[in-house]
Amino acid sequence: MSAPSTMPDTHPDFKHRVATALADTKVCEAGERATRRQDGARRKILTELPDALATRKLAARIKDHTLQNLDRYLEQLVANIRRLGGHVHFAANAEQAREIITGIARDANARKIVKAKSMVSEEIELNHALEQAGAEVMETDLGEYILQIAGEKPSHIVTPAIHKSKEDIGRLFTEKLGIPYTTDPPTLTAAAREVLREKFQNADMGIIGANFAVAETGTVCIVTNEGNGRFCSSHPKVLVSLMGMERLIPRMKDLPVFIKLLGKCGTGVRITCYTSLITGPRRPGDADGPEEFHLVILDNGRSRILGSDYREALRCLRCGACLNACPVYRKIGGHAYGAVYPGPIGSVITPLLGSLDAYADLPTATSLCGACLEACPVRIDMPTMFLRLRNDLLRRGHVPWRWRLGFKMWKLEMRCPFLYRMGTTIGRWFMRLRAKDGWIRKLPMDAAGWTAHRDFPAMDAEPFSKRWKRLQQNKEESR
Residues that bind ligand SF4 (CB under 6 A): 157, 316-322, 345, 375-378, 380
- Minimum CB separation of residue 375 from ligand SF4 in Å reads 5
Distance CA 118, CA 28 (A): 25
Cα 153 to Cα 267, 363, 370, distances in angstroms? 20, 22, 27
Q: Residue 56 or 98: which CB sits closer to ligand SF4?
A: 56
C-alpha 348/C-alpha 35 separation (Å) is 20
CB of 381 to ligand SF4, least distance (A): 10
Q: Shortest gap between Cβ of 376 and ligand SF4 (angstroms)? A: 3
Q: Which residues contact 315 (CB under 8 A, 6 or more apart)?
A: 60, 63, 64, 67, 246, 378, 380
Nearest residue to 363 (alpha-carbon basis) of 379, 355, 371, 118: 355
The distance of closest approach from Cβ of residue 8 to ligand SF4 in the complex, given in angstroms and rounded to an integer, is: 19
Are 147 and 115 a contacting pair, CB within 8 Å?
no
Spatial CA neighbour of 203 closest among 113, 288, 298: 113
Q: How far is the CB of 65 from ligand SF4 (least distance, A)?
A: 17
Residue 339 or 378 with smaller CB distance to ligand SF4:
378
Q: Which is nearer to ligand SF4, 176 or 318 (CB)?
A: 318
| β-strand partners of 205 | 113, 238
DSSP-derived secondary structure letter, 334: T
CB of 129 or CB of 376, closer to ligand SF4: 376
What single-letter amino acid sits at 349?
A: I
Strands (E), 68-182: 87-91, 112-115, 136-139
Q: Which is nearer to ligand SF4, 119 or 458 (CB)?
A: 119
Q: Which is nearer to ligand SF4, 258 or 293 (CB)?
A: 258
Nearest residue to 300 via CA among 145, 100, 151:
100
Shortest CB 319 distance to ligand SF4, Å: 4
Residue 220 host element (H or E): strand 219-224
For the CB of residue 140, give the shortest distance to ligand SF4 in the complex, in Å.
Answer: 22
Closest CB to ligand SF4 among 59 and 240? Answer: 59
In the bound complex, what is the minimum distance in angstroms from residue 398's beta carbon to ligand SF4?
24
The least distance separating ligand SF4 from the CB of residue 324, rounded to whole angstroms, comes to 9
Query: In the complex with ligand SF4, which residue's Cβ is closer, 80 or 300?
Result: 300
First to last CA, the chain: 74
Q: How far is the CB of 45 from ligand SF4 (least distance, A)?
A: 15
Phi, psi (rounded to 5 degrees) for 378? -110, 20
Please say which residue, 135 or 372, places its beta carbon nearer to ligand SF4.
372
Give least dist CB 30 to ligand SF4, A.
20
Q: Name the residue nearer to ligand SF4 (CB basis): 64 or 99.
A: 64
What's the CA gap between 292 and 280, in Å, rounded? 8
Cβ(91)–Cβ(298) under 8 Å? yes
Q: How far is the CB of 220 from ligand SF4 (least distance, A)?
A: 19
Closer residue to ligand SF4 (CB): 295 or 319: 319
Of 210 and 317, which CB lies nearer to ligand SF4 in the complex structure?
317
Distance (Å, whole) CA 131 – CA 201: 20
Residue 391: which residues within 8 A CB-CB, separation 6 or more? none
CA distance linking residue 349 with residue 367, whole number of Å: 17
Greatest extent of the chain over all pairs of C-alpha atoms, in Å: 91
Asked if residues 206 and 236 have their Cβ atoms less than 8 Å apart, the reply is yes
Residue 306 CA to residue 215 CA, distance in Å, equals 18
In which element (H, E) is residue 241 found?
strand 238-244
β pairing state of 292-298 and 238-244: parallel
Burial class (CB in 10 A: 0-12, 13-18, 19+), 322: buried
